[in-house]
Amino acid sequence: MVDLLNNLVFIFQRLDWLGVIDILLVTLIFYGVLYLLRDTQAMVLLRGVLLLFVLTALLTSLVNLPAFSFLINAALPALLFSIPVIFAPEIRRALERIGRAGTFMPARPRTSAEEMTLTIQAIVSAAARLSARQHGALIVMQRLDNLDEYVRTGVMMNSKVTPELLLQVFYPNTPLHDGAVIVDNSLLVAGACVLPLSASGILAHSPDRQMGLRHRAALGISEVSDAIAVVVSEESGAISIAHSGRMIRRLDSERLENILKAFYGPDLRAGKENIFKRLFPYLFPRKEE
């Protein structure tokens, strides 16, 4: 115990402000990695890798096993090379987030505040009426990130957003009923679009496990872009909204409208988002709904 205390005193005596910054940077990186891996299958893999590492370290240090130690030392480089393969989706998501954080100006001019307000009101009105009829719907609202690759998977419409148009698109058994509609500014660009499904474990851990492909697609598009996805459940009629890999459920019309207006305020339309918050969102936790 005395030796341990002496070692700790020796370490603190040599610690300067550069050492403190170094430790904080390493801590921040590890915290960021764990934040990116939260609620994903990669977290389960990471726990398995850490458990395997601890067990092998104990075996090689406490027991003299030359052959086992040689095998571990030989296999360790291969395990390091396998990390990019195992965590490829999470690495890609992190790089996309960093790339989006560097976007200050939109690629094209945005609509006026009045037009955006009318578009939001049309979407809210349609969502409320679809919810009352228990007609499933998935409406994706594009922001700064370009969604052309998903627009090309659907049917081009290029129509002004109105509640009646959305009700007709999502009427059961119509040709455009399956898939998502993508809205850019005040224009409904395409319908029946195919979106990436989320690999997150959020829905699996949710009490509402009956949520299906629409909700997984809504989370998926919110994980790979900064788009906002509005979902109406076909089973219960509940309205949900997804953004940045998170979903808020059981919304009424008023809350939905307030959330959409908050996203499409003047600062967001101009693209002047805080780069630090976009790079390190875990330093600015969102309120749980």
Give yes or no: residues 88 and 179 share one domain. no
- The answer on 119 and 93 residing in a single domain is no
Q: What does the longest C-alpha to C-alpha distance in the chain come to? A: 78
Q: For the chain, 289 residues long, give each residue's pLDDT as a single digit of tens.
A: 666 677 767 666 777 788 788 888 888 888 877 776 665 556 666 777 777 777 777 777 776 777 777 777 777 777 777 767 766 666 666 666 666 555 444 444 456 788 888 999 999 999 999 999 999 999 999 988 888 889 999 999 999 999 999 999 999 988 888 899 999 988 999 999 999 888 666 655 555 555 688 999 999 898 888 899 999 998 889 999 999 888 888 899 999 999 998 888 654 444 434 444 444 444 445 444 4
Same domain, 133 and 194: yes
**Pick from 287, 285, 263: nearest CA to 183:** 263
- In a domain, residue 202? The reply is yes
CB 107 within 8 A of CB 148: no
CB 32 within 8 A of CB 283: no
| Buried-state track 142-178, b at ≥16 Cβ within 10 A, e below 16 | bbbbebeebbeebeebeeebbbebbbebbeeeeebbb
Same domain for 165 and 244, yes or no, is yes
Q: What is the CATH number of the domain that holds 238?
A: 3.40.1700.10
Contact (CB, 8 A) for 106 and 267:
no
* Token pair belonging to 10: 């020796």
Domain count, the chain: 2
